[in-house]
Structure 1
Amino acid sequence: MELKKVIILGTTQFSVMMCSILESEGYSVYAYSTYKEYLNSNFFMGCPVFLTEDLVELMGGVENFMILNTIGYSKLNTIRERTFADLKMREYDIMTFISQKANIYTDKIGQGCIVMPGCFIGNNIVLGESNVIYTNTVLTHDISIGAYNFIGANVVIGGNVTMDTNNFVGMNSVIKNRVSVGSYSIIGCGSNVIASIKSYSVYTGNPAVHKKNILDINSVNI
Structure 2
Amino acid sequence: MKSVIIIGNSITAEVLYNLIKEDDRYKVKCFAVDREFMSGNKFQGLKVVDINDIPQLFNNTEVKIIIAVGYNNVNQDREVIYSRLRDLNFEIETYIHQDALVHTKDIGNGCIILPGSVVDPCCKIGENTVIWSNVICAHHTIIEDNCWVASGSILSGQTKIGKNTFIGVGAIIVNEVNIGEYNIIGAGSLITKNTGDNEVYLTKAGERIPFDSFNYAKVYGY
TM-score calculated relative to the size of structure 2:
0.89
Please report the RMSD computed on the Cα atoms of aligned residues, expressed in angstroms: 1.1
Q: Distance in 2 between matches of 1:193 and 1:185?
A: 12
User: Deviation of residue 162 (structure 1)?
Assistant: 1.1
- The equivalences for 1:50-129 within 5 A come to 50-59=49-58, 61-129=59-127
Q: 2:23 aligns with which of 3, 22, 25?
A: 25
Corresponding position of 2:13:
15
Q: Distance in 1 between matches of 2:188 and 2:162?
A: 20
Post-superposition Cα deviations, 1:73-101, rounded to whole Å, max 9, x if no partner, equal 00100000000000110011211101110
Q: Distance in 2 between matches of 1:112 and 1:73?
A: 14
> Does 2:23 match 1:4?
no
User: Deviation of residue 8 (structure 1)?
Assistant: 0.5
Q: 1:148 aligns with which of 139, 146, 149?
A: 146
Q: Distance in 2 between matches of 1:30 and 1:96?
A: 17
Post-superposition Cα deviations, 1:153-178, rounded to whole Å, max 9, x if no partner, equal 00011111111101110011110001
Gaps of 5+ in 2: 205-222
**1:5 aligned counterpart, secondary structure:** strand
Q: 1:170 aligns with which of 140, 144, 168?
A: 168
Stretch deviating more after TM superposition (105-114 or 31-40):
31-40
Larger C-alpha radius of gyration, 1 or 2? 2
Post-superposition Cα deviations, 1:111-169, rounded to whole Å, max 9, x if no partner, equal 00000011100011111100000100000101111100000000011111111101110
Corresponding position of 1:215:
none
Q: Provide runs of 4+ in structure 1 moved above 4 Å.
A: none
Gaps of 5+ in 1: 207-222
TM-score calculated relative to the size of structure 1:
0.89
User: Deviation of residue 183 (structure 1)?
Assistant: 0.7
- The equivalences for 1:165-204 within 5 A come to 165-204=163-202
User: Deviation of residue 37 (structure 1)?
Assistant: 2.4
**2:73 aligned counterpart, secondary structure:** helix
